[in-house]
Amino acid sequence: MRDLNGKKALVCGGSEGIGLASAQALAALGADVTLLARRESMLLAALESLHASGSQRHGSIVADVNALEPVLEQIRAAGFDMLINNSAGPAGGALLKADTTQLLSVFQQHVLAGQTLLQAVVPHMQANRWGRIVNIISTSVKEPIPMLGVSNTIRGAMAAWAKTLASELGADGITVNNVLPGYTQTQRLDQILKERAANAGKSVDDIAKGMIASVPAGRFAQAAEVAHAVAFLCLPLSGYINGINLPVDGGRTKSL
């Protein structure tokens, strides 16, 4: 069933990983999808992977989320009904050792970029009294993850940002929700595995086995499994789901 026919989605970080998988899931439901990412060559390859019916129109915007000003007018004019905020996580390490400039940089990349995009897309959503904002963040907003100090801090800020907006925008027919991926087979997971292996003096395989052992499902997720949750929250039938954190983690998170 193509429930998003005629709706337009802007997917950040849409050239690979969970971002691309989310774009593909939304396109499969009939949405017109625009991918936003930094590298044009990867965007073009990703764009070719989006299946389109005769009426669908997919596109791409080459931009860095840290420097959105040149493309904001294009984003405003497009009239997006859905915004998927998705950006790469920062390098690992203890929060105590993090430089303040690193915290500021990651805050810009996630929260301030999200705010900038929000203000560009929400007027169209308010005019139509329908909109979906989904942030792909992390299970660390429920349980901080060891040695991801900066990520834990900024992901938590993003979750609070979204919860506040859910209250402010709900009366306009706009929902704001967070999807919290667990261990998912992406470039980001490869980075974490290598960092942990180097710090522990172990092999990547040993680290991976230890991580999988903490997941009741007994495996890592595929990006498409996270994307299905993103797409579900964008559907018209999900209009009464607002301001939630939805873990997609195979049962790993122990808190409710």
Distance of alpha carbon 98 from alpha carbon 47, whole angstroms: 36
**What is residue 193's three-state secondary structure?**
helix
The fraction of the chain above a pLDDT of 70, given in percent, is 98
Res 53: pLDDT: 67
Q: Where are the domains of the chain?
A: 8-182+222-243, 183-220
Average of pLDDT values for 52-68? 90
Phi, psi dihedrals of residue 77, rounded to the nearest 5°: -70, -25
Average pLDDT for 133-160: 96
**Residue 31 above 90 pLDDT?**
yes
Is CATH 3.40.50.720 the right assignment for the domain spanning 8-182+222-243?
yes
pLDDT, tens digit (0-9, with 9 covering 90-100), for 199-215: 899 999 999 999 999 99
Confidence class for position 256, pLDDT limits 50, 70, 90: confident
- Pick the more confident residue, 53 or 122: 122
Q: What is the mean pLDDT of the chain?
A: 95
Is the per-residue pLDDT at 51 higher than 80?
A: no
Q: Which residues of 228-241 are buried (b: 16+ CB within 10 A; e: fewer)?
A: bbbbbbbbeebeee
Q: How far apart are CA 191 and CA 195, in angstroms?
A: 6
Q: pTM (2 decimals)?
A: 0.95
Query: What digits encode the pLDDT tens for the residues 81-97?
Result: 999 999 988 888 999 99
